[in-house]
Amino acid sequence: MPELPEMETYKALLSKKTAGRTITAVSVERPKSVNMTAQQFIEQVSGRTITGYDRRAKQLLFLLDDGRLMALHLMLGGWMFYGREEDKPDRTSQVILSFGENQLYFMGLRLGHLHLYTQDEANQVFAELGPEPTAPSFTVEAFAALLSSKRGALKTKLLDQSIIAGIGNCYSDELCHHAGIRPDRSIGGLSQADYAALYRSMHAVFEEAIQYGGYMENPLYVGDTLTGGYNDRCKVYDRENQPCYRCGQPIVKEMLNSRKMFYCSNCQR
C-alpha cells in the first residue's frame, strides 16, 4: 500500500506532467471508485484545470481551479500510469483522466477511491487524521507526548492514522530498525531517549525514501527512473531470512495483529 513517500513521489512527478493542464475528458469504469454518480463526477471534473498537488496522510490531492479537490487513496493494490493508451500496462482502469493525447489511468482501485470534495468537505474528512510526521510543527516533544499517552505495541500505534498520518506497514518497520527498537515493544516501556531516536529515524527514513522514489516499483510513466528506487534500499521490510545490513543476523518476519512485521532480533532491542 502506498505510504507517505510513495504519495510524495507521485506528487512531485505529476506536478511536472499535469499541473496547469486541463482535464479534457473523464471516464469512470467503476462507479464505486468515486463519491457520486459516474455522470456527476464526469460532468464536474471535465474541463477543470489542475492548479497543483498536495498530500494528506496517504492521500494525494489534486487541486482544481474551482477551489475543489480530488482526493486519491490508492489503498492496497492501487497505482497510476500516465501516458498514451498504447503504453499503458495491461491492467483494468477504474477511472481515467485525459489531458489531450495523454491519459492518467487509475488502476487497482478495488479498495481505493478518487473522491471529489469542496474544501470544507475535505477538512471534515481529514479532521480525524493525526498530525503529519514531517511537519515542522510536529516536534520531538509533541511526538513523545502523543505516543506516550497511548498503550499497546509501538508498531500498532504508528500504523494508526488517527495518531500519526502517513506511516504504514513498510515504514513503521524501517524506522524502528533505524532507531534500533523492535516494532512490538510496548509503548509503556519506551524512554524519552527511545522517543528521540524514533523521531530522528522517522525523519531520516522518510527523507531517504522520498529521495529514492518510495518502495512501490510500478513506474508512473515510460522512462520513469525514480519510482520504486527505495525498494532495494529497505533494511528490513520484506527481507525475511536475509542478513541485517547492520549486524549480519537474519531478518525475522512475524505477525502482529494480523500485520506483517520485520525486524532484526539482534540489533533491535
Whole-angstrom distance, CA of residue 191 vs CA of residue 263: 20
Does residue 3 have an active-site annotation? yes
Does residue 183 have an active-site annotation? no
Torsion of CA 91, 97, 100, 102, to 10 degrees: -30
- Catalytic residue (choose from 3, 6, 8, 174): 3
Q: Give the Cβ contact number of residue 100 at 10 Å.
A: 10
Grid cell locating 26: 473523464
Does residue 58 have an active-site annotation? yes
- Catalytic residue (choose from 56, 58, 235, 239): 58
Grid cell locating 61: 490531492
Burial label for 126, CB within 10 Å (0-12, 13-18, 19+), is middle
The DSSP output letter for 90 is S
- Catalytic residue (choose from 2, 5, 183, 219): 2
- Catalytic residue (choose from 17, 30, 68, 259): 259
Does residue 185 have an active-site annotation? no
Whole-angstrom distance, CA of residue 206 vs CA of residue 212: 10
User: If we measure between CA atoms, which residue out of 54, 115, 113 comes closest to residue 78?
Assistant: 113
The residues assigned a catalytic role are 2-3, 58, 259
